[in-house]
Amino acid sequence: MPDHQRLTEHYHQGLRDDAILTQVRTHYPNGPTLHQLAPLDQLHIGGIAASKKLLNLLDPQKHPKVLDIGSGLGGLMRQGAALGLQITGLDITHRFNALNQTLSQLTLEPHTLDKNGAALRYITGNASALPFAENTFDAVLFQHSLMNMPDPNQVIAQCRRVLRPGGRLVMHEVVSGENITELRFPVPWAATQEHSHLLTLTELTQLLEASGFQILHSEDWSSTALEWRQRQRQKEQASHTAVLSPQWVFGERFLQMGKNLLENLSIRAINVVEISARC
């Protein structure tokens, strides 16, 4: 089985598409808000606050056309559209894209879509071969997605190609920590080492610079990420059943994934960084 099919299977395995939509329609008959969807569609360390911080690195006036690579269920996309960005989401998992689009149609924030629905677009594709012309976008976003890509050099080269001169590349990514050899699986992005392609911060920075990017901003976000994950773990262990949670995407596996994620942050097997660069 090709790598991309195995990766897709990882994300398909526990995904409960129809049940998620039934849950949303039942509990939020007038449509969910972005915050109500966040436990489901902000599948990254830091949740909706981390997405806000990442999006603040962009100016809707200067960077209106944005590509979100590894868009998942679209939390970052809808949040960005609410700020006035026109966002194209690309994900290799087609069922994510289909669910993402339906969730967008159900949200309470009608201003996230213009009358033609042009503020958001959904593309199933591979980041190593972006299906876009040169100079198409003003900005490219990564949020916990590069770590799933076995050929980051090709992915970043593709980003450079589709960005206009002076465009921005912004990242909120997991990278290798000093104790990466102690990384515990499964984690949300990978059940085994096979689909975990973490770079160190130094390797990532050098890759961007070698590809023609100038680093504008680089921040280690690991301490805040650990505190956030500790709070989330307490919620996950509470007796009440949440309306929406990552378990609707990953199934019962998430109980172990969430535990491992916290432990990996605690022992610094992984770090979380935020980066902004200009081409």
Summarised one tens digit per residue, pLDDT across range 167-216 is 999 999 999 999 999 999 999 999 999 889 999 999 999 999 999 999 99
C-alpha closest to that of 174 among 194, 146, 193, 205? 146
pLDDT tens digits along 36-61: 999 999 999 999 999 999 999 999 99
Q: Domain ranges for the chain, please list them.
A: 3-278
pTM for this model (two decimals): 0.94
Residues in the chain: 279
Beta strands in 83-194 (DSSP E): 86-91, 120-124, 137-143, 163-176
The token duo for 56 is 């603040």
| Residue indicated by tokens 């392609």 | 197
**CATH no. of 3-278:** 3.40.50.150
Cα 161 to chain centroid distance, Å, stands at 21
